[in-house]
Amino acid sequence: MKSVIVGTAGHVDHGKTALVKALTGIDTDRLEEEKRRGITIDIGFAHLDLTGPDGEPIRLGFVDVPGHERFVRNMLAGVGGIDLVLLVVAADEGIKPQTREHFDICRLLSVRRGIAVLTKSDLVDRETLEVVKLEVEEFLRGSFLSARKAPIIPVSSVSGAGLERLKHALVAAAAEIPARDSSALPRLPIDRVFSMKGFGTVVTGTLVAGSIQKEDELEVFPKGDRVRVRGVQVHGAAAEKAVAGQRTALNLASMQKDDLERGMTLAPPSTFHATWRADVSLSLLPSAKPLKDRARVHLHAYTAETVAEVILNGQKQIGPAQTSLAQLRLSDPVLLLPGDRFIVRQFSPVVTIGGGVVLDASPLARKVVVEDRILFLEKMDKGSPEEALAARIARRGKSGLSVAAAVAETGWPKERVSSIAAALLAQQKIVRANEVLLSEEAFRGALDEALIAVKAFHQYNPLVEGISREALRERLDLSVEVFSTILDQLVKDKKLELTGEQVRAAGRTVVMKDDEAESKNIIERAFASAGLKVPALKDVLAGLKVDKARAQKIVTLLLRDKVLVKISEDLVFHREALNDLRSRMLVQKAKSEKIDVAQFKDLTGVSRKYAIPLLEYLDRERVTRRVGDAREIL
């Protein structure tokens, strides 16, 4: 069944609640204080089933809002999810301040359809009614409620006059409202929380996207708690699932009433992030004063409300009736997604001054040049979904954007991200590295960088065959996924070669010249034959034919291949000598668990100058453990 949410709007006492009751039979004023004072304080709910022009059933969910200027913030919590507005004007009073403010809010929230209703028609004569009608017509001229697009219907909730015509108009308007996308990721901004005997904790809200069913797991934003849906009610009746555009009540397991409040949002777990910053397009009302850079405002988005600082990207202020890009820095994190509408109210005195649409709720942490940010946001504002995703990928450079991060940034389901990514892939605008998407440009750049890094490595290490994969990855500062794609591509292009864990430029081999090979042999033999009584490295090197720098590289090579082992700044041993030492320590252990420096000197025949570093080396290798002045052999 098609479901449409109808919100009321209008000045205090103009007959909104009476009208909803006359249409639905439901009194939406449920608080004792509301009854006593005869005014609406908080939003109330009702519903009505009607039949569409082709006989199909249509369910109207009503959100009745308070008109009093003190309760505009409650009105804002109700108006966020509506499809259609009933702008209520009392025939005996005409346009009043909250008629204007509520109507401004509807426009800023981009409500597209509605009906203007002249209530209390029974209290005025025909001429007065005509005059008020003209006044309202004039007021609505040029708007989405202009008389050309929407009727102005006089009614009396007391006599019932005009109600049938209003119902027809509601059906006609509802039929034009496109069905919401129930395959989108669900979001339920919470507008009420209560506990019901035998049920536990219940939250209600207008489901603004997607669908929610029994047993679903959801995350509570911004807190991050997980909840399980124990039961679903739609417009007051038990249901298997709720879909976008329905008034929804959820019975939540393992949650206390006090853990939840209006302004929180339920959404799929581990999918989104609440944000402290949002880049937006912000419009000021013609009636607003200029808004200065860094001004503080009250921000309302769906049922959430917080204070925000407005950053104007280098501009000093926004003038009345102007629209500008801005960044909102929030005092509390809120779950926002691109496309979400919001309202801003002046900090003090609190009046509605403007509103707009969220373009990006995941701004980069690092500083971005203002011009680049503006360019990016203009793509978010006016670009196609493909352009928007391509720009989101491009701004991440060689880090790329994972599919999951793209879902979190856009609010699109994974399938949608993947299919748009596939189109970009086909146009060769992006590259896919496993689950990470990166722009073709960033990919090309990373390929070049990798090649340059490998070549530079060869230049500085002529005797080493190649650089290890991990060292190269770190040098390039790439994620594992992006790096392996880069490497695969360069190997495929025959620009790099891979042997085991080593990366080298294609066709490169280490050619040792004769005198280098000879020097290498000399060094190795010098240490192999010395046992533990090793010569000083610099003495060995001094006797070589090759120059100092090349000699040093040969040593580095021998150390890398672990032929030689460096145990202290100036002591180098041959691997065989150290292996031999280990086995002698084992033999020693059979005689005694302990050995001191003097015994060690006897055992090995080395001087104290060698004994101490050797014992420290054995400690590090966990062959021995120092106990006081002696060592325990492990």
Distance in Å, CB of 233 to ligand GTP, minimum: 25
CB of 424 within 8 A of CB of 416? no
* Candidate list 157, 324, 410, 489; residue touching ligand GTP; CB under 6 A: 157
Distance of closest approach, residue 75 Cβ to Mg ion, in angstroms: 10
Nearest to 311 by CA among 290, 280, 332: 280
By beta-carbon proximity to ligand GTP, the closer residue of 34 and 340 is: 34
**Token digits of residue 8:** 């009321």
Question: Distance between CA 255 and CA 559 in Å, rounded?
Answer: 62
Task: Mark residues 94-133: x for contact with ligand GTP by CB under 6 A, - for none.
Answer: -------------------------xx-xx----------
Q: Which residue is nearest to ligand GTP (CB)?
A: 67
CA dist., res. 576 & res. 633, Å (int):
20
Letters for 27-66 (x = contact with ligand GTP by CB under 6 A, - = none) are ------------xx-------------------------x
What, of ligand GTP, Mg ion, none, does residue 24 touch, CB below 5 to 8 Å by kind? none
Q: Which is nearer to ligand GTP, 12 or 510 (CB)?
A: 12
In this chain, which of 11, 16, 395, 398 binds Mg ion, going by CB under 5 A? 16
Residue 18 as a binder of ligand GTP (CB under 6 A): the answer is yes
Residue 58: CB minimum distance to Mg ion, A: 24
218 half-sphere exposure, CB direction, 13 A CA radius: 31
Instruction: Give yes or no for a contact between 219 and 164, defined as CB atoms under 8 angstroms apart.
Output: no
Per CB under 5 A, the list member of 3, 6, 15, 17 interacting with Mg ion is 17
Which of Mg ion, ligand GTP, none lies near 458, with the C-beta cut-off 5 to 8 A by kind? none
User: Could you tell me the CA-to-CA distances from 463 to 27, 520, 541 in Å, in that order?
Assistant: 88, 11, 17
CB of 19 to Mg ion, least distance (A): 9
Which of residues 67 and 80 has its CB atom nearest to ligand GTP in the complex? 67
Helices and strands (H and E) in the chain: how many:
19, 35
Nearest to 220 by CA among 182, 183, 247, 258: 258
For residues 30 and 533, which CB has a smaller minimum distance to Mg ion in the complex?
A: 30
15 binds ligand GTP (CB under 6 A): yes
Choices 34-42, 144-152, 259-267, 600-608 (CB under 5 A): range interacting with Mg ion: 34-42
8 Å CB contact between 486 and 495 = no
Cβ proximity to ligand GTP, 70 vs 538, nearer residue: 70
Q: Give me the least distance between CB of 16 and ligand GTP, in Å please.
A: 4
Helices (H), 499-627: 514-530, 537-542, 548-560, 575-591, 597-604, 608-620
The whole-angstrom separation of Cα 58 and Cα 51 is 6
Going by C-alpha positions, the residue among 173, 91, 168, 169 that lies closest to residue 128 is 91
**Binding partner selected for residue 410 from ligand GTP, Mg ion, none, CB under the kind-specific 5 to 8 Å limit:** none
Rounded to whole angstroms, how far apart are CA atoms 416 and 617? 59
Q: Helix (H, G, I), strand (E, B), or coil: what is residue 559?
A: helix
Shortest CB 143 distance to ligand GTP, Å: 21
**Interface region with Mg ion, contact rule CB under 5 A, candidates 33-41, 155-163, 291-299, 333-341:** 33-41
17 binds ligand GTP (CB under 6 A): yes
Q: Per DSSP, what are the bridge partners of residue 307?
A: 298
What would the 3-class secondary structure string for 404-438 be? HHHHHHHCCCHHHHHHHHHHHHHCCCEEEECCEEE
Q: How many residues bind Mg ion (CB under 5 A)?
A: 3
Q: Does 154 bind ligand GTP (CB under 6 A)?
A: no
Nearer to Mg ion, 16 or 180 (CB): 16
- Residue 51 corresponds to which tokens in the numbers above? 């039949």
Nearer to ligand GTP, 42 or 360 (CB): 42
> CB of 161: closest distance to ligand GTP in angstroms?
8
CA distances from 530 to 174, 235, 395, 510, 519 (A): 96, 91, 60, 29, 17
> 575-608 burial, b for 16+ CB within 10 Å, e for fewer?
bebbeebeeebeebbeeeeebeeebbbeebebee
- Residue closer to Mg ion by CB (options 40, 485) is 40
Given the rule CB under 6 A, which of 152-160, 170-178, 324-332, 578-586 is the region that contacts ligand GTP? 152-160
Interaction mask 40-59, Mg ion, x per CB under 5 A: x-------------------
CB of 120 to ligand GTP, least distance (A): 4
Angle between helix 163-176 and helix 16-24 axes, rounded to 10 deg: 90
The footprint of ligand GTP on this chain (CB under 6 A) covers a number of residues equal to 19
- Taking CB under 6 A as the criterion, which residues in 217-276 touch ligand GTP? none
Selected binder of ligand GTP within 61, 67, 162, 338 (CB under 6 A): 67
> Is residue 534 classed exposed, middle or buried when 0-12, 13-18 and 19+ CB atoms within 10 A define those classes?
buried
| Contact flag: residue 351 with ligand GTP (CB under 6 A) | no
Task: Check binding of 465 to ligand GTP (CB under 6 A).
Answer: no
DSSP assignment string, 571-585: EEEEHHHHHHHHHHH
d(CA 44, CA 31): 9
The residues that bridge with 221 in the sheet, in sequence order, are 265
What is the largest distance, in Å, between two alpha-carbon atoms of the chain?
124
Residue 123 interacting entry, from ligand GTP, Mg ion, none, C-beta within 5 to 8 Å by type: ligand GTP
Our finding on whether 26 is near ligand GTP (CB under 6 A) is: no
CB of 309 to ligand GTP, least distance (A): 32
The footprint of Mg ion (CB under 5 A) covers: 16-17, 40
The footprint of ligand GTP (CB under 6 A) covers: 12-18, 39-40, 66-68, 119-120, 122-123, 156-158
